[in-house]
Chains A and B, each alone.
Chain A
Amino acid sequence: MIPTGSIDVLVFGHHLLPPSWLHSTGYDVLMIFVAINTVMYAALSVAKVLPALHPTEWFTRRRRSETRSIYPDGSSDQQE
């Protein structure tokens, strides 16, 4: 769409739907419905950008009670 008209008002030549639609309750409900959904997705987006937290690893011990190596003497454990 190419804006027409003077520099101070970017006006589109024609509109296909009556502008009064934008002042209806239905449109307002749709807008808030979409806004709430979008905010929910935005919150998830922020969570995705931030470093992942693994709180269970803060408290669990890292030493195993027995070797899980394929070698019964656990000789591959030192390489970990």
Chain B
Amino acid sequence: MRFQRLIGLVIMGVTGLAALLLWIGVSATDTSHQRVHHGVLFGVWRVFYDTAAPPWPQLFIAVGVALLLALSVAVLERRIATRYRRSENVDVTPLSPKVVMAATRGVFHGEVTVTVLVPAHNEEASLGATLTSLWEQSVAPTRIVVVADNCTDRTVEVAHAHGAEVFESVENTHKKGGALNQALRWLLPGQGENDTVMVMDADTALDPGFLEAAVRRLTHDRALMAVGGLFYGEPGHGLIGQFQRNEYVRYGREIRRRRGRVFVLTGTASIFRPRALRTVAAARGSIIPGVQGDVYDTAALTEDNELTIALKSLGALMISPDECTVVTELMPSWRTLWNQRLRWQRGALENVGAYGITPQTSRYWAQQLGLGYGVFALTSYFVLILLMLLATDAWIWFPFWIGLGLVFMVERVVTVWRGGWKARLLAMTIFPELFFDFFLDLVFVKGVIDISLGRQAAWKHIEHTSSGVLEEAEP
């Protein structure tokens, strides 16, 4: 069952219903309690406090439900992954480890090589550093091909100057995905079983051991179809930069806790075996959405997320190892961040809608449902605080809420610990990050509205100028 334009309404409908049921449940219980008390601190300071808290049974049920939901999602994902891993069905899961192992057993197909494709649309300012980071890897790539897509600047010259080959797209109207499809159509036929292809953004720099670690894993496991990078944010951009860095630190921590099990093979830097890309191209239009022969689905706003779901749907094994880290650019302003996140959010929703409810998309459905419910939860939280601030005439302490706040504070700080003292300091203050979450909730709602109304999505491109200024432009 596929959803297309209804996807946003389905997510908001289901989560809204859950919120409504909870509301009705709460309304049906006795909510009366003794109100504000007061006491004296240090003999002089009279304080008001409100001991209001939900009854213990309700709290236990809430904790139980939350943990049960989280556990169910984790167990379900694990079971589905195991099922796909053990599948021997060539027609349904042509990339599952058993199928790939059987096809490559007993034959040495050559050492693992890496050919890097760097899609670039007017990237003269950042391309040089990207190519340098590639050549300086402890295990250097065999080839670097810059895929120049409708460039009007010196991208091609910069590429040549840094020892890269150049592939120029021809009459491409499908942006990055379209340019990569053309390049892959040219490249893939000549690639052997272990001649892997890396796709890497022109504004990204690899950490030194990335390729070495990836090649080692691809050598040890011929069933491994893709290795994804773990990205973290570049320094700078003040508070808005720190918000994004904290997000990426938390995401990286989550992936490590999942033992590198991939959520999204990031477009910033991911390596694929040619078999994986060829199989996706062949399966499009039948087992998975898209146009047959295309590796990337050009209808998807987030082509890397879509390709990840495509590979998972075909049974591919992939990993984001701890050693494969990349530095990625951050959005410098709220406007550019809004546009980036709107594209990501809308893309993720549309991908889930395009695939419908399948075993391999269930984890992504759970994520979107979680985000949808978060909108209701956080909005009601802010409404409550606002009402209290506007209607109260004295500062009242709420021990229950302070206790909960401390729990969140610990979690916020622990999860960004790797990000350094600035990250911890921001996390400790809780409220700025809550407002940032609310900003992302607004993006989510805007994405739902845009999809539901069938609005055309804009694919904004960040232009890097040689002065280092970032400008937004329609490509």
Contacts and interface: CB of A to CB of B under 8 A. Distances in A.
B222 A68 contact: yes
A69 B384 contact: no
Interface string B19-50: 00011001101011101000010001110100
Interface residues of B, number: 70
A36 B62 contact: yes
A12 to B, nearest CB: 6
A36 B54 contact: yes
A43 B60 CA distance: 10
Interface stretch (B205-213, B286-294, B405-413, B462-470): B405-413
B387 A12 contact: no
A34 B380 contact: yes
A70 B411 contact: no
B200 interface: no
A40 B33 CA distance: 22
A23 B194 CA distance: 70
A27 B474 CA distance: 47
B155 interface: no
Interface in A6-57: 7-12, 15-19, 21-23, 25, 27-49, 52, 54, 56
Interface stretch (B264-272, B326-334, B391-399): B391-399
B108 interface: yes
A45 to B, nearest CB: 4
A43 B59 CA distance: 10
Interface in B191-234: 194, 216, 218-223
B45 A40 contact: no
Given A7-B45, A8-B44, A30-B383, A70 B391 contact: no
A32 B392 contact: no
A22 B31 contact: no
B10 interface: no
B387 A30 contact: yes
A29 B415 CA distance: 32
B335 to A, nearest CB: 29
The binding surface of chain A is classed by DSSP as helix
Given A36-B26, A45-B408, A70-B222, A19 B395 contact: no
Contacts of B455: none
B170 interface: no
B383 A3 contact: no
A53 to B, nearest CB: 10
A32 B56 CA distance: 12
Contacts of B395: 3, 10, 12
Interface string B140-156: 00000000000000000
A62 B442 CA distance: 46
Contacts of A22: 387-388, 391-392
Contacts of B391: 15-19, 21-22
Contacts of B160: none
A25 B63 contact: no
B70 A52 contact: no
B31 A49 contact: no
Contact of A9 (B106, B387, B394): B394
Contact of B52 (A18, A31, A54): A31
B54 A30 contact: no
Return the 7 tightest CB-CB contacts between A and B, nearest first: A45-B411, A40-B66, A28-B31, A17-B391, A8-B46, A52-B257, A10-B395
Given A29-B27, A30-B384, A68-B221, 16 more contacts: A12-B393, A21-B387, A29-B26, A31-B384, A34-B377, A36-B26, A37-B62, A38-B401, A39-B63, A40-B62, A40-B65, A40-B66, A41-B66, A44-B67, A47-B67, A72-B107
12 contacts: A1-B389, A15-B393, A18-B391, A21-B387, A29-B26, A30-B384, A37-B22, A38-B381, A39-B59, A39-B63, A41-B377, A79-B220
Interface of B: 22-23, 26-27, 29, 31-33, 35, 40, 44-46, 48, 52-54, 58-59, 62-63, 65-67, 70, 78, 97, 101, 104-109, 111-112, 194, 216, 218-223, 257-259, 377, 380-381, 383-384, 387-395, 400-401, 404, 407-408, 410-411, 414-415
